[in-house]
A and B are shown apart, each in its own frame.
Chain A
Amino acid sequence: MRIVVVGAGQVGSSIAESLAAEHDVVVIDVDAERVDELTYAVDVLTIRGDGTDVEVLEEAGVREADMLIASTDEDETNIVICGTAKTLTDCFTIARVKSTRYLTTWRHARGEALGVDFMVGTNLLTATEAVRLSGLPAARDVDTFAGGTVQMAEFEIPEGSHVAGQTVQQADRFDSLTFAAIIRPDEVVIPTGQTVIRPGDDVVVIGSRASVRELAGEVAPHGNDGAKTILVVGGSDIGFQTARLLEQQGVSPKLVERDPERARELAEALPGTTVLESDATDRDFLEREHIGDVDVVVSALGDDERNLLASLLTKRLGAGRAVAVVDDGEYVALFEEVGVDVAVNPREVTAEEITRFTRERRAENVAMIGDGRAEVVEFEVDGESVLVDRPIQESVGELPDGVVLGAITRNGELVVPRGDTVIRAGDHVVVFVDAAVIDEAQSLL
């Protein structure tokens, strides 16, 4: 595959490096020095120039390319690069975007907006990672289908979770939710009502947004041993997204932000969070708010040094676990050495995500699950499909094992699949498919 990467910063270089072995990679960057450096370090073709320039893109051979990855440091530039490339060719475009707002817009348009085929929201990604590292069951993967009506999420079930040890029937108290699969290290289980969910399982669910969110709350460990108090330091977009994700999981975090206006803005947007307007490195304040009793501190101040300071200070006061966002990749190991429990590097997380996606991608409107062991596909039912005009309980017998109907949307409205539901031509169906039976399933559906 021929891949054009625009932007040879930390993210771009890292992507180029990991893809170079299997693919033909062309890297574009405005900075001559960076371009030179990369030419010698990695086996890729490098071009000096502006990625928003049509001629530069042509020179990089974007017409022959299968994929374009825009990974400069600026959101708008990346989006424009994708849009520019789309005027030349129909290659698959990936944009790296910090702002969660752009990501929301893009998702709202079912991934068909702005000339971007896949958008990586780095702030949200970093926040998700930070939440996961806090020891909470962040949904690993959340994808939306059918214009946002249907959501697919993959949850890792933690030790002490409400749901652990329950059967699927007990856990599924939601009207519009389907437990599609349980991914275990050695197998993909298509659950029946009697299947028992074990700690450590990855559960794949498909359903309405609301029910997925509710399940997230259920998955979180409850009771005295599981209840966590979490402090988010810094109201940057990453800090905000972290608090928001925590709220969605039924945790009421505290968030410290120094700027009064930003604090107010956050307090308005986060009804379930206690927003405190103060300097997180003010020791008196931290003591007054009993920060020593907090289980996890996530530092997202937007400044590596201050994140370190906040982490160390709160640890010293007795806080349990310190998760720090570290922008500079060089610091990660250092920070972890001096006392930060986990350092999350947004660039690393982004590069990993883009690389993973590039490796796993097969078709559009597909979400890859468990390193390619299964996928969730959305498609429109046509007259040829085995599903059409008959109740699901009849057609399901003809489908191979490993296929689960997750959700149906009809005219944009969610229809929960039940045995007697009759699927009509034109309905959109979101299906979980085990990788082993993908070809067979595709021919039938």
Chain B
Amino acid sequence: MIDLYVEWRKSVALTGTVVKWLAVAMVVPVVVGLVYGEDVWVFVASMAVFVAVGLALEQLEPDVELGPREALLLVTLAWVGVSVIGAVPYLLAGLGSASTLSTPVNALFESASGFTTTGATVMGVISVERHSHALLIWRQLTQWLGGMGIIVLMIAILPEVAVNGAQLMESEAPGPELQKLTPRIAETARVLWLVYLVFTLLFVLVMTLLHVAGLAPGMDLFNAVAHALSTLPTGGFSPQTDSVGAFGPVVQWAFVPFMIVAGTNFALFWYLLNRDVESFLGNREWQTYVGTSVVVAAVLAGLLYLGVAPTMRLGGQTAGALENALRQAAFQIGSLLNSTGFATSDFARWDTAGQMVLLFAMFVGGSAGSTGGGIKVVRWLVVLKVIRRELFTTTHPEAVQPVRLGSNVVDEGAVRGVVVFTMMYLVLFGVAAVLIALDASRVNMGLSALEAMSASLATLGNIGPGFGQLGPFGSYLGFPDTSKLLMVLLMWIGRLEIIPVMVLFTGAFWRS
């Protein structure tokens, strides 16, 4: 037996706590099921499973004082834990039916895709007729819980987790640096969740008002809640077969600002709440995020107007139709740039030019401290500045140039971290694309290069839809199980921003 330096029992025990508390979330599908008069035994049983497994794991170690390594391990394990246990309702619901979710790998894929806010699906037919309202709301809820972060939520409500909060949040929160808003980390976590909750409720309110006003006939309360639970975490699941394409132009427009909000650093809203408008508007990352979104959307709108998309049932005619070209561009960019993954048009059928613009947008990602995935705007800013500095110091080797974001100087250690992260991201993307392609050819799946690349990028970046068969109205169902498991790994790595996961695969982590 090798002597391990990491007291993994503590991390596993606390993972048990997380799993146990997840049972509380199960109340939502139970209530929804009761409202629609559906059979809710699946969820009651799941609830029992969650509590039982959670309690069992907790028995492993009563003392849960975590060191830095145990904290890191907890964050990564917790995400495995919730993804695995979150598959239970899908499996139970699929028992004895022909549902595609009834196999363990598919159920795990759907669960991981939900919690990591990827939004890639292996569901065959997405509709409330085929699956219950309750199961679909559970699918939406996993995204909402994963969006702001399960650990952040635990820090906000569980005092025993809050002790190591800063370290835990650092590992889980998207972006290179943790921003503490208040002296106490639990308070910061509460603030972030509160802002998140307020925007979620606001979304429901806006959609319901549109529905009441008769502008959004399909957007009943169920759909409003379901989409709120998916929009703010930049998820991408929809209980509708046609995603947001199922709704009219007004609703589609109403989605855009909320998707922009979801990709914004939530800490900025806290500043805004404290009437610090300067910190909000003057934030370099926010300016770049919005600026990039607008420019890319404008380019895409131009392309769509010129006719890169055929006239389709979903998406309609964009060539020569200004409002529709603008709307399709704004929606698709708002959705893909920050890794949400909703669609109102089957962009898998667009011409190469349009698809390439979307591919570019997928590489950008949301802001640090948002619920978005991908590389993140702030990292690109730092990378671009490092490149510029490198070019400058080629001619002026003695020049000392700190990297600045606005008026703040970025520490060199952080700069190195950003560059390494970006490299790892690109390397992982490339390697995974090759592996997916190889695996697909093994089973004669007939996957194109663009499809393989988009599968890798869409799962690693927690985006969801890709191109070709993986398009917004397609499915990941056709992949062999090995590829699906690889993608689950990618989603997990992508959600935790690579390093917390990769470090577990180093020997130095486990030995003293």
Across the interface, A275 reaches (CB within 8 A) one of B399, B404, B409, namely B399
Interface contact A276-B399, CB-CB below 8 Å: yes
A268 CB contacts on chain B under 8 angstroms: 402, 409
24 example contacts (A-B, Cβ-Cβ < 8 A) are as follows A256-B398, A263-B400, A264-B400, A264-B402, A267-B401, A267-B402, A268-B409, A271-B404, A271-B407, A274-B396, A274-B399, A275-B399, A275-B400, A276-B396, A276-B398, A276-B399, A276-B400, A277-B398, A277-B399, A277-B400, A278-B398, A285-B398, A289-B396, A289-B398
0/1 string, B401-416, CB within 8 A of A gives 1 = 1101001010000000
B409: nearest residue on chain A (CB-CB)?
A268
Which residues from chain B contact A271 at a C-beta distance below 8 Å? 404, 407
**What sequence of 0s and 1s flags, for each residue 382-405 of chain B, a beta carbon within 8 Å of any chain A beta carbon?**
000000000000001011111010
- The interface bits of chain A over 134-153 (1 if a CB of B lies within 8 angstroms of the residue's CB, else 0) are 00000000000000000000
In Å, the complex CA distance between A275 and B401 comes to: 7
Candidate in B400, B402, B404 with the most chain A CB atoms within 10 angstroms: B400
> In the complex, what residues of A have CB within 8 A of residue B409's CB?
268
The answer on a CB contact under 8 Å between A267 and B396 is no
CA of A264 to CA of B400, assembled, Å: 6
Nearest A residue to B392 by beta-carbon distance? A274
Q: How many residues of A contact B (CB 8 A)?
A: 15
Known: A271-B407, A274-B399, A289-B396. 18 other contacts (CB 8 A): A256-B398, A260-B400, A263-B400, A264-B402, A267-B400, A267-B401, A268-B402, A268-B409, A271-B404, A274-B396, A275-B399, A275-B400, A276-B398, A276-B400, A277-B398, A277-B399, A277-B400, A289-B398
User: Which residues of chain A (347-379) have a CB below 8 Å from chain B?
Assistant: none
A253 CB to nearest chain B CB (Å)? 13
The CA-CA distance from A256 to B399 in the complex, in Å, is 9
Residues of chain A with a CB closer than 8 A to B401's CB: 267, 275
Residue of B398, B401, B404 with highest tally of chain A CB at under 10 A? B398
Give the docked Cα–Cα distance between A263 and B398 (Å). Answer: 10
CB distance from B47 to the nearest CB of A (A): 54
Q: List A199-243 residues whose CB lies under 8 Å from chain B.
A: none
Interface string of A259-296 (1 = CB under 8 A from B): 01001101110010011111000000100010000000
Would you give the shortest CB distance from B315 to chain A, in whole angstroms?
A: 47
Question: Considering only CB atoms, which chain B residue lies closest to A267 in the complex?
Answer: B400
Please give me the residue from chain B that is nearest to A276 by CB atom. Answer: B398
Bound-complex Cα distance A341 to B399 (A): 27
CB distance from A264 to the nearest CB of B (A): 6
Cα distance A264–B407 when bound, in Å?
15
Taking the closest CB of chain A, its distance from the CB of B326, in whole angstroms, is 39
A267 / chain B contacts, CB cutoff of 8 Å: 400-402
Taken residue by residue from 233 to 275, chain B's Cβ proximity to chain A (1 for < 8 Å, 0 otherwise) reads as 0000000000000000000000000000000000000000000
Residue of B nearest to A264 (CB): B400
- A276–B398 Cα distance when bound, in Å, is 5
A263 to B400, CA, bound (A): 7
A268 to B411, CA, bound (A): 10
Distance between B362 CB and nearest chain A CB, rounded to angstroms: 34
> In the complex, A266 Cα to B402 Cα: how many Å?
10
Q: Mark A101-113, 1 if CB is under 8 A from B, else 0.
A: 0000000000000
B400 to chain A, nearest CB (A): 4
Distance of A281 Cα from B409 Cα, bound (Å)? 29
Q: How far is the CA of A180 from the CA of B323 in the complex (A)?
A: 57
Across the interface, which residues of A come within 8 angstroms of B402, CB to CB? 264, 267-268
Report chain B residues within 8 Å CB of A266.
400
A285 — which chain B residues lie within 8 A by C-beta? 398
Q: What are the residues of chain A within 8 A of B407 when measuring CB–CB?
A: 271
Contact residues in B for A263 (Cβ distance below 8 Å): 400
Q: How far is the CB of A231 from chain B (nearest CB, A)?
A: 13
Task: Give bound CA distance, A98 to B398, whole Å.
Answer: 29
Cα–Cα, bound, A267→B412 (Å):
13
CB distance from B384 to the nearest CB of A (A): 17
**B396: chain A residues within 8 A (beta carbon):** 274, 276, 289
- Name the distance in Å between A285's Cβ and chain B's nearest Cβ: 6
Cα-based distance from A285 to B409 in the complex (angstroms): 27
Interface membership of chain A positions 56-82, coded 1 if the CB is closer than 8 angstroms to chain B and 0 otherwise: 000000000000000000000000000
| Distance in angstroms between the alpha carbons of A267 and B410 in the assembled complex | 12
A284 to chain B, nearest CB (A): 11
Neighbouring B residues of A256 by C-beta, 8 Å = 398
Please measure, in the bound complex, the distance between the C-alpha atom of A274 and the C-alpha atom of B396, giving whole angstroms: 10
Closest to A266 in B: B400
**Chain B residues within an 8 Å CB radius of A277:** 398-400
Sort A-B residue pairs by CB-CB distance and give the 9 closest, nearest first: A276-B398, A278-B398, A267-B400, A275-B400, A268-B409, A263-B400, A268-B402, A277-B400, A267-B402
- Bound form: Cα–Cα A301–B404 in Å: 27
Chain B residues positioned under 8 Å from A289 (CB to CB):
396, 398
Alpha-carbon gap, A274 to B402, bound state (A): 11
Q: Which of B353-404 contact A (CB under 8 A)?
A: 396, 398-402, 404
Kindly report which residue of chain B lies nearest to residue A269, judged by CB atoms: B409
In the assembled complex, which residues on chain A have CB atoms less than 8 Å from the CB atom of B404? 271
State in angstroms the CA–CA spacing of A92 and B314 once bound together. Answer: 83
A239 to chain B, nearest CB (A): 14
CA distance A271 to B401 in the complex (A): 9
B390 to chain A, nearest CB (A): 16
A278: which B residues are within 8 A, CB to CB?
Answer: 398
User: Using Cβ atoms and an 8 Å threshold, which residues of chain B touch A275?
Assistant: 399-401
Minimum CB–CB distance for A289 against chain B, Å: 7
In the complex, A260 Cα to B398 Cα: how many Å?
A: 10
A268 to B400, CA, bound (A): 9
Bound complex: CA A267 to CA B402 (Å)? 6
Cα-based distance from A289 to B392 in the complex (angstroms): 13
Question: Which residues on B sit within 8 Å (CB–CB) of A260?
Answer: 400
CB-defined contacts of A264 to chain B, threshold 8 Å: 400, 402
CA distance A285 to B401 in the complex (A): 17
